Structure 1
């Protein structure tokens, strides 16, 4: 027996989030041993986490009978050192940056409020906003995947509460130009959320704008460069006035003790972070130079491949049949049917990816 009438009306129109395929799923479907499957569909760090983070997590596992600090203050202090921002501008969040988004939408959105989302981009912005009664206003990116700032500004209304910008953008890998961001910040009466999940792999960030604007929020994660995706750990950088309001509704104790201290240790391991960044930069250059289709410039740990005139579905399946998981971008709004997102792997994995795309190109 089901009782759908009990579910909020806002939920009915939400499309379910589509995650990347798992190793177990592909191994079972295509008859591979799980260890032979190459998973490059979820933008995970292929080097794995820092040994310091693992050791710290294990050391603090014995303390899981005790609640963590309500606001993860130890981790916030470490993030303050890492970012150079005062603790008054920092909120730790779990699960991952998604928890930050959920809390912000709970804090900001009333039924009928609008959010502006340039597409194609990460789909969870729309899910979190719609679940709280927001009306999403989608604005397509320019043909080269840069922001159409005029279209974003023209889409704003007196109901606009939040504009979502992803930098580097998922799935395109393109950074938001600071000049464009400044124009939007100065134009809007709402808040601008900048998702910097992949920022460590890029040429710059916009955290310094917190010193100039009182309507910017920056979301970050430990899932990518710090390789702690399984711990679901993130944080937000925001004006002090907003943090004071945010903490009123933030779920207390939402980051486990092992995750808090693993995050602190990961931030302290500069060598491992540098290796992860170098791996991504070298790998994406190799993929761009060798995949026999159009590959867009990227500032993230993935590249976007346009396989037209072939369809992304067909090419993705051809790679899956070789035990290589990549991401068909068809589930991204306004991404079309020829784009594939490929996480940067190890040097050996990248060579196999190139060879698989070379085989796929023979379908032309």
Structure 2
């Protein structure tokens, strides 16, 4: 027997997070051999993890009976070298950047607070904020799906505790300019959270701004460029004063020992990282130039395709039947009915994607 009266009202009213489809789901639904399925719906690194990261995982396996460091200090030091920021401005987190978001909402949000979320974007900002008692204020995009900075400013009130920005944005792949981010930071008494999950694939990072502003947080992850999505490692770049408060409520030992070791190894393998980035940039260009629909300029490891006058549901279904998993973006607020997000794959995978879109175009 269920007891819904025990659950917070803020939780019962939240729509469930919609993940990308799995290989197992598609294999079963369409009776396709899993080996023949291409998963390009969750923005994972199709090359997999660095061999050095795998080696670190294996070597740490015999030590999992021991707790890791409570604050993942070894990984924090490695991130400090990678980003050029002092360790006092860095927090490692698990599970992934979602863990950083959850902890930050626990630190910041009180009932009655508001968070401003420009759309379309990653849905977990709203889930995490509302679960902690905040009201989500959504801001519609401009005509080209870019964030409307003036509208975001107009949405900020005295109750605004956090303004969320995803840059490069998911699902559009667009960057928010440094000028616009500075303008937003200076327009609110609250905090600005910039999600840079895909920043390794972009032309520019805003990480150094953390040393200039006392109300800026930047979230990062090892799930994308570093190919460690299954280990769920994230980290935050933030002012030292905020890290001190964050660490009070962060779950002890929230980054596992294997994750710490693999993360450090991945950071040390710059050659493999560059290989992943160059493959993505090349593949992104190929997809943009060859898919016979409108493709938005992207700075991430995915591209956004507008299949109008067709409908995303129908085109996605046609690709799924061919064993190509992509992301129908209808679940993204203010994304409309015709947008599909496609992770950049290997050259062979990208060629199959282009062929599938050309066949869809011919319908």
TM tier, shorter chain?
A: over 0.9
TM-score, normalising length from structure 2? 0.99
Q: How is 1:30-49 mapped onto 2 (pairs within 5 angstroms)?
A: 30-49=30-49
For residues 268-291 of structure 1, give each alpha carbon's deviation from its aligned partner in whole angstroms, at most 9, with x where no partner exists: 000100000011100010000000
The match for 2:282 is 282
The match for 1:340 is 340
The match for 2:331 is 331
Q: How is 1:25-104 mapped onto 2 (pairs within 5 angstroms)?
A: 25-104=25-104
The match for 1:228 is 228
TM-score, normalising length from structure 1? 0.99
The match for 2:179 is 179
User: Is the contact between residue 147 and residue 180 of structure 1 (CA under 8 Å) also seen in structure 2?
Assistant: no
User: Is the contact between residue 114 and residue 161 of structure 1 (CA under 8 Å) also seen in structure 2?
Assistant: yes
The match for 2:268 is 268
User: Is the contact between residue 36 and residue 323 of structure 2 (CA under 8 Å) also seen in structure 1?
Assistant: yes
> Which whole-Å CA distance do the structure 2 matches of 1:140 and 1:205 have between them?
24
User: Is the contact between residue 284 and residue 303 of structure 2 (CA under 8 Å) also seen in structure 1?
Assistant: yes
For residues 19-66 of structure 1, give each alpha carbon's deviation from its aligned partner in whole angstroms, at most 9, with x where no partner exists: 000000001111111011000000000000000000011101111000
> Which whole-Å CA distance do the structure 2 matches of 1:182 and 1:106 have between them?
25
> Which whole-Å CA distance do the structure 1 matches of 2:222 and 2:143 have between them?
31
User: Is the contact between residue 50 and residue 272 of structure 1 (CA under 8 Å) also seen in structure 2?
Assistant: yes
Give the superposition deviation at 1:241.
0.4
User: Is the contact between residue 119 and residue 147 of structure 2 (CA under 8 Å) also seen in structure 1?
Assistant: no
> Which whole-Å CA distance do the structure 2 matches of 1:146 and 1:357 have between them?
24
- Partner SS, residue 200 of structure 1: helix
The match for 1:193 is 193
- The total of aligned residue pairs comes to 363
The match for 1:303 is 303
The match for 1:322 is 322
Give the superposition deviation at 1:145.
2.3
The match for 1:217 is 217
Show structure 1 runs of 4+ deviating over 4 A: none
Instruction: Structure 1: state its 5+ residue gaps.
Output: none
For residues 127-148 of structure 1, give each alpha carbon's deviation from its aligned partner in whole angstroms, at most 9, with x where no partner exists: 0000000000000121122221
For residues 228-279 of structure 1, give each alpha carbon's deviation from its aligned partner in whole angstroms, at most 9, with x where no partner exists: 0000000000000000000000000011101000000000000100000011
Instruction: Structure 2: state its 5+ residue gaps.
Output: none
> Which whole-Å CA distance do the structure 1 matches of 2:82 and 2:151 have between them?
35
> Which whole-Å CA distance do the structure 2 matches of 1:152 and 1:204 have between them?
22
User: Is the contact between residue 326 and residue 343 of structure 1 (CA under 8 Å) also seen in structure 2?
Assistant: yes
The match for 1:141 is 141
User: Is the contact between residue 41 and residue 327 of structure 1 (CA under 8 Å) also seen in structure 2?
Assistant: yes
